[in-house]
Amino acid sequence: MAAPLRQVEGFFVSQSINLNYLASLKKFSDQLGGHGELLSMDEEDSIIVKPCNGIERDFYENSIAHPGFARWMPKYYGTLRLHDSQPPLLDQQLDVNNNIISCDIKPQTTKETICIENVLSKFKKPCVMDLKLGTQLWGEDADERKRQKAILKAERTTSEYCRNLTPITIIKCFADFFMAEISPSQRQLVINRFIEDLTSFLEALEKQDVRLRSASLLFVYEGDPNAFTEALNKEEEETQDNQKSSKLTSGEDYVEDEDIEDTDYDSDIDEDDDDEFKVTELKIIDFAHSYFRDGVGKDEGCLLGVNNAIRCLKQVLNEITN
């Protein structure tokens, strides 16, 4: 169930949204496509305001009951209903003598949106790939007209382009994605991490009664070599801190380096530190036609897509290491 809403200066706001963010709403500059204009909500662009339908909103809110799957989704912060600030419009029809023959009042429009994590905000130079999953682009409720519209749209966009790829050319497309100005060893690390993440996501997907229609996998990695190194160093520092904290908590013998000052690891480790720097990120996105339903079984089309993505990445990794 959706969180209670409050109306604040033209917005209906979910209780989970910090109202101070509303003043910073602006156009999201990194949008490449999709339905409707995206907005960002705070100075760091860490929250995206995305147009949605009720199906996508429900999918995010129902995901709380599926934590193994939800960890692969962008963080969900709540909903907004954006009101048009313009007054109601008069839609008049005139005859040849400019006499009014009908007059309809068009009310202010209300757009429902969701507030989700901006996966790109932790990267200096994000390299992004949106990989459409599955074998069906329309929802279960689509009539024949909607199905044909989805097919026509696919023919006019990158979806049809992808269908024209061959087993050889698709590997080249995957390989081209990793051609940022990072070192060969960094490139191999990125691909290995995506393979590991896809394998973990596949295990979660195998356990879900879900249908993901027209959903996508979002691959992101750091394309700036210096930022990449900085993020990797930060990861290593956090790993060492966590290991030290674990030893102290478990009571194991631990000899501290003389050059390291005494540290209260339990209080100093911020649970959000792992979000400050990113090397790679993998998320499942776009749920306008998706749903969880007990008894519906696994989504075989999406499982096929994830398995194919793993196979392609393994082939790319094999080619660049030999």
Enumerate residues 6+ apart whose C-beta is below 8 A from 271: none
Q: How confident is the model at residue 103 (pLDDT cuts 50, 70, 90)?
A: very low
**pLDDT computed for residue 240 by the predictor:** 83
Cβ atoms 51, 37 nearer than 8 A: yes
Q: How confident is the model at residue 81 (pLDDT cuts 50, 70, 90)?
A: confident
CA dihedral 83, 84, 88, 93 (to 10 degrees): -130
| More confidently predicted of 153 and 278 | 278
Mean pLDDT score across all residues of the chain: 76
Taking only the tens place, the pLDDT of each residue in 23-41 is 456 666 565 555 556 776 6
In the numeric block, the tokens 């809110």 are attached to 61
Q: Could you give the CA distance from residue 72 to residue 70 in angstroms, rounded to a whole number? A: 5
Q: Is the pLDDT assigned to residue 49 strictly greater than 90?
A: no
- Eight-state DSSP code of residue 170: H
In the numeric block, the tokens 């996501």 are attached to 201
Taking only the tens place, the pLDDT of each residue in 235-268 is 888 888 787 777 776 665 544 444 434 434 333 3
Which residue, among 28, 129, 21, 33, has the nearest Cα to 77 in the 3D structure? 21
Q: How confident is the model at residue 57 (pLDDT cuts 50, 70, 90)?
A: very high
Q: For a pLDDT cut of 70, what percent of the chain falls above it?
A: 59
**Half-sphere exposure at residue 168, Cβ-oriented, CA atoms within 13 angstroms:** 0
- Range with top average pLDDT, 134-138, 185-189, 277-281: 185-189
Which residue, among 76, 73, 69, 173, has the nearest Cα to 131 in the 3D structure? 173
In the numeric block, the tokens 């033209």 are attached to 10
In the numeric block, the tokens 């249908």 are attached to 211
Q: How confident is the model at residue 79 (pLDDT cuts 50, 70, 90)?
A: confident
Q: Could you give the CA distance from residue 162 to residue 165 in angstroms, rounded to a whole number? A: 5
Q: Is the pLDDT assigned to residue 119 strictly greater than 50?
A: yes
Q: Is the pLDDT assigned to residue 300 strictly greater than 60?
A: yes
pTM recorded for the entire structure:
0.73
Cβ atoms 42, 275 nearer than 8 A: no
**pLDDT computed for residue 41 by the predictor:** 66
In the numeric block, the tokens 């309809």 are attached to 104
| Residue 240 vs residues 34, 65, 262: alpha-carbon distances, Å | 41, 33, 15
47-51/110-117 β-pairing: antiparallel
- Tell me the three state secondary structure of residue 213: coil
- Tell me the three state secondary structure of residue 175: helix
The rounded Cα 54 to chain-centroid distance in angstroms is 18
Amino acid at 81: R
* Average confidence (pLDDT) over 142-149: 62
- Tell me the three state secondary structure of residue 148: helix
Kindly report the number of other CB atoms within 10 A of residue 91's CB atom. 10
Taking only the tens place, the pLDDT of each residue in 164-175 is 677 788 899 999
Cβ atoms 313, 270 nearer than 8 A: no
**pLDDT computed for residue 266 by the predictor:** 39
* Pure H helices in 49-109: 54-62, 67-70
**pLDDT computed for residue 120 by the predictor:** 92
Enumerate residues 6+ apart whose C-beta is below 8 A from 29: 40
Q: What angle do CA 271, 275, 280 make, to 5 degrees?
A: 135
**pLDDT computed for residue 175 by the predictor:** 94
Q: Could you give the CA distance from residue 286 to residue 52 in angstroms, rounded to a whole number? A: 9
| More confidently predicted of 111 and 114 | 114
**pLDDT computed for residue 144 by the predictor:** 63
Taking only the tens place, the pLDDT of each residue in 270-281 is 444 445 779 999
